[in-house]
Each structure stands twice: as structure tokens, then as C-alpha cells.
């Protein structure tokens, strides 16, 4: 056990640092949806051109073929700057990409993976339905085989970035007569197919990042099925494990920067009695706790990456990282909201300067999206600790 990075790691870190310093996007992320899409893809393309896309992806798919350690270094350096969030690139880079690598056919991989890395496409995740959220396996959107096509009808909900996506990882019920975890198929859906209707939903933070998606006899080629028909649950689980695992590294590094920003805020702002807010014992204690928690979040990430390197894939411990992260993030943003005091009466979007109120509102999604905190606790209890299932 050690914390030492090798000489080549250090060289790699220097290269990353130099490149990032020169390529920080000058403009902010637009809020208009088409412009936002263009911005996110452009930034991905810039990384591709610089040779930084898919650091830990195999070279045959356009990646660098390096290890998770280099990926970690990249995120650590990335998080030091106020760089664009992964946002609309998240599903492609951290979800669909890894799932395709694990389960897709050679043709599917060869077609899709380079496009994700080059910033040519946006992916979205069509898992949740109105009646299938935590109980994802009860999903009912139907897919039936017709010749060499799959015909889809039904509805998904909370699909982030569906309105600007090209492709979707879609879960459909292909056999309603078997136990619910069987009979599900994972299929690649072209979001421009006829019969798809998308309705954006406004979030409590004020953005319209997620949508309802309706499928009206949408025809997809059977060649788009990933894995076997009716075996989609297993495919989906490899994706979810990723979402709960190393995909958090960047968020974790960003959170540590936020905590440092907040400490600066608390030094700069003064309480009514004129003393800096950081002299307020309660706030000081909460800030110090936040620092410690964010430090241990990094330690947990290191442990998860080490484990992943030994075992080959993230285990149920990913749920611990996700739960600890979302709890810590919510505490940090609540603390931020308390520190800015009356300024918090004003709404400022989370991506704007001083957007503490928007960030606070956004933090409510952390314990819901990607599997709720209650579900993470169930997983930890049952799969990590072996407690009986409820």
C-alpha cells in the first residue's frame, strides 16, 4: 500500500496540467439546448484532438489504452479548473461506452465507441418509467420482434438530455411471461427514429435537463440489441455498477474544489458583528467536517480504483461511494446556502458565478438520480453486509 505515483504517472500529470491550462474553454456553457449540445460536443472534440479522450479505453476503440490511474490523474487535474461538467457527455462516456465495451458486438463497438470519444454524438439513458423507478425491473415499455426489427411502444421518463441526444441505451420488455428480471432487452435506440416524441420536464433547479420520451411503434434494427434478447438485465447491471463506481471521480474532485471555494467565501464574508464568518464556530465546524469528508471521499475513490484494478470491475462497494458522495454533496451545498445567508433568496443558476442557490437546489437530485439513497442503503445492507432481503 502506498500513495506514490510512478515517474511516468508524474510525467503524465504534468502533460495533463499543461494541456488543460492551454485549453480551458473561454466561454461559459450556453443554456439554449442546441447551443449547449454544440458546446459539450465541441469540448469533447477538443479533448479528442488533444489525445485526452478515453484515457482508459482500449486503443482499438480510439482510447489511449492506459489504466484507471491515468484516468484518475486526468480527473484530478481537470477538477482543479472551473471546467465544463461532464453533463450531456456523461451517458456516452461513463455509461453507454463502458457497457458497449463489456457487452456489445464487434460491429457495434466499432461503430459507436469512436463516435462517442470524438464528440460526434450525445447518448441518453432510457431506463426509468413512470411506474418503474427504484423497481426498474418492473419496466413495461414493450419491444416485440417483427422480422429483423424490434418494434417499441411505451414510455420512459426522467431521461436526461433526451432532447439533444442521438442515441439511447433503451431497456424494453421483450417477454412479459417470465419473472421480471428475465424478459428485458437492452437495445440501442436512434433518437431520431419516427414515432419518438420527447417532452422536456422542468426541474426544481430551473433547467429542463430531463424529459418524458414516448415510443409509438418505433422500429429499430434487431442488430441494435446489445447482448442477447431477454438478457438485458445483466447488461444493464454492468452499466449501473459503473454509474455507481468510478464515474464519480470527477464529481468528487469538483466537490473538493467547491469546499475550498466555500472556505474562501466564509473568510471573505463577514457576520453582522463584523467578524469573518469563518469565526462562527458552527460554520467553522461544518466547513472542517466537509473538508475531512471530501478527503475521505478521495481516499474511497482510490480504494475503489485499486479494487477495480484487482477485480476487473467495480463491485457493490460502488454503492458506498455513491451514497457517501451524495450525502456529503448535499451537506456541502446546504452549508453553502447557509453561508451566503440572505443572498440565497436570489435564484442563480448552478452554472453561473455565485450560483450557490442553484447548486443547493441541484444537490437534491444527488440522492435520487442513478438510484436513490434508500436503494443504495439496501444494496449495501444486502450485498456488502449479507443482511436478509426485505
Partner 1 sequence: MDLLPSDEQQEIAAAAAAFLAKELPIDGVRARRHEKRAVDPEVWARCANLGWFGVGVGEANGGVGYGLVEEAILFREIGRGLAPGPFLATSLAVRAALQTGRIDLAGALMAGDCFAALGLPRDPDAAVEDPLYGAFDLIDDEGASVLLVAGPGGSALVDVSALGPVKRLVALDPASRLGRIDLTGAPATVLPHADAGALFERGTVLAAAILAGTAEAVRDQAAEHARTRVQFGRPIGVHQAIKHRCAEMALRCEAATSQVFFAAAAIDGDRADTGFQASSAKIVATNAAVDNARDNIQIHGGQGYTFGNDANLHLKHAHAVAATMAPLRWHLAHLLDLVPAE
Catalytic residues: 243
Q: How many angstroms separate the CA atoms of 102 and 265, rounded?
A: 44
Q: How many angstroms separate the CA atoms of 252 and 293, rounded?
A: 10
C-alpha cell at 383: 450485498
Closest separation between CB of residue 328 and partner 1, Å? Answer: 15
Work out which of 23, 369, 381, 382 binds ligand FAD, going by CB under 6 A: 369
Stretch that binds ligand FAD, among 25-33, 34-42, 252-260, 368-376 (CB under 6 A): 368-376
Q: How many angstroms separate the CA atoms of 287 and 196, rounded?
A: 47
Determine if 323 is a binding residue for ligand FAD (CB under 6 A): no
Strands 196-201 and 123-126: unpaired
Q: How many angstroms separate the CA atoms of 199 and 212, rounded?
A: 5
Q: Is the CB of residue 194 less than 8 Å from the CB of residue 217?
A: no
SS3 87: helix
Determine if 206 is a binding residue for ligand FAD (CB under 6 A): no
- Residues near partner 1 (CB under 8 A) are 128, 131, 133-135, 138, 157-158, 201-204, 206, 210, 272-273, 280, 337, 341-342, 344-348, 357, 361, 364-365, 367-369, 372-374, 377, 390
C-beta closer to ligand FAD: residue 88 or 104:
88
Q: How many residues bind ligand FAD (CB under 6 A)?
A: 20
Determine if 374 is a binding residue for ligand FAD (CB under 6 A): yes
Determine if 308 is a binding residue for ligand FAD (CB under 6 A): no
Q: Which does 361 bind (CB under 5 to 8 A by kind): ligand FAD, partner 1, none?
A: partner 1
The closest alpha carbon to 251, from 299, 317, 305, 297, belongs to: 297
Q: Which does 345 bind (CB under 5 to 8 A by kind): partner 1, ligand FAD, none?
A: partner 1
Work out which of 44, 94, 128, 249 binds ligand FAD, going by CB under 6 A: 128
Only one residue has cell 436478509, namely 388
Determine if 365 is a binding residue for ligand FAD (CB under 6 A): yes
C-beta closer to ligand FAD: residue 335 or 375:
375
Q: At what angle do helices 249-268 and 318-340 cross, to 10 degrees?
A: 20
- 322 phi/psi in degrees, rounded to 5: -65, -45
Determine if 134 is a binding residue for ligand FAD (CB under 6 A): yes
Kindly list the distances between the CA atom of residue 240 and the CA atoms of 111, 117, 124, 148, 233, in Å, as whole numbers in the listed order. 23, 20, 14, 29, 10
Q: How many CB atoms lie within 10 A of CB 127?
A: 24
Closest separation between CB of residue 364 and ligand FAD, Å? Answer: 8
Where do contacts with ligand FAD occur on this chain (CB under 6 A)?
Answer: 124-128, 133-134, 158-160, 210, 365, 368-372, 374-375, 378
Amino acid at each position: 500500500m502506498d500513495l506514490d505515483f510512478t515517474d511516468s504517472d508524474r510525467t503524465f500529470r504534468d502533460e495533463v496540467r499543461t494541456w488543460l491550462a492551454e485549453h480551458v474553454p473561454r466561454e461559459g456553457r450556453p443554456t439554449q439546448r442546441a447551443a449547449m449540445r454544440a458546446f459539450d460536443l465541441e469540448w469533447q472534440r477538443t479533448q479528442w484532438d488533444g489525445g485526452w479522450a478515453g484515457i482508459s479505453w482500449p486503443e482499438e476503440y480510439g482510447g489511449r489504452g492506459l489504466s484507471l490511474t491515468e484516468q484518475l490523474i486526468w480527473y484530478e487535474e481537470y477538477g482543479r479548473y472551473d471546467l465544463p461538467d461532464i453533463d450531456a457527455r456523461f451517458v456516452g462516456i461513463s455509461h453507454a461506452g463502458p457497457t458497449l465495451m463489456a457487452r456489445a458486438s464487434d460491429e457495434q463497438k466499432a461503430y459507436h465507441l469512436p463516435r462517442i470519444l470524438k464528440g460526434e454524438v450525445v447518448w441518453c439513458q432510457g431506463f426509468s418509467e413512470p411506474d418503474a423507478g427504484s423497481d426498474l425491473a418492473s419496466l413495461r415499455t414493450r419491444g416485440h420482434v417483427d422480422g429483423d426489427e424490434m418494434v417499441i411502444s411505451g414510455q420512459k421518463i426522467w431521461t436526461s438530455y433526451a432532447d439533444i441526444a442521438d442515441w439511447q441505451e433503451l431497456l424494453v420488455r421483450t417477454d412479459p411471461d417470465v419473472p421480471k428480471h428475465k424478459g428485458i432487452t437492452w437495445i440501442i435506440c436512434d433518437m431520431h427514429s419516427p414515432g419518438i416524441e420527447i417532452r422536456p420536464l422542468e426541474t426544481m433547479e430551473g433547467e429542463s435537463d430531463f424529459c418524458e420520451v414516448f415510443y409509438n411503434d418505433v422500429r429499430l434494427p434487431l442488430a441494435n440489441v446489445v447482448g442477447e434478447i431477454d438478457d438485458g438485465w445483466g447488461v444493464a447491471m454492468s452499466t449501473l455498477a459503473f454509474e455507481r463506481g468510478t464515474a464519480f471521480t470527477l464529481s468528487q474532485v469538483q466537490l473538493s474544489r467547491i469546499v475550498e471555494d466555500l472556505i474562501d467565501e466564509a473568510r471573505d464574508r463577514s457576520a453582522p458583528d463584523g467578524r469573518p464568518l469563518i469565526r462562527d464556530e458552527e460554520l467553522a465546524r461544518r466547513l472542517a467536517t466537509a473538508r475531512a469528508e471530501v478527503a475521505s471521499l478521495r481516499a474511497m475513490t482510490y480504494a475503489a480504483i485499486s479494487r477495480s484494478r484487482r477485480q476487473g470491475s467495480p463491485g457493490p462497494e460502488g454503492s458506498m461511494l455513491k451514497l457517501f458522495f451524495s450525502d456529503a454533496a448535499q451537506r456541502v451545498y446546504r452549508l453553502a446556502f447557509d453561508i451566503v445567508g440572505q443572498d440565497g433568496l436570489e435564484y442563480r443558476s448552478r452554472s453561473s458565478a455565485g450560483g450557490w442557490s442553484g447548486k443547493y437546489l441541484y444537490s437534491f437530485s444527488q440522492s435520487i438520480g442513478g438510484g436513490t439513497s434508500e436503494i443504495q442503503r439496501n444494496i449495501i445492507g444486502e450485498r456488502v453486509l449479507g443482511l436478509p432481503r426485505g
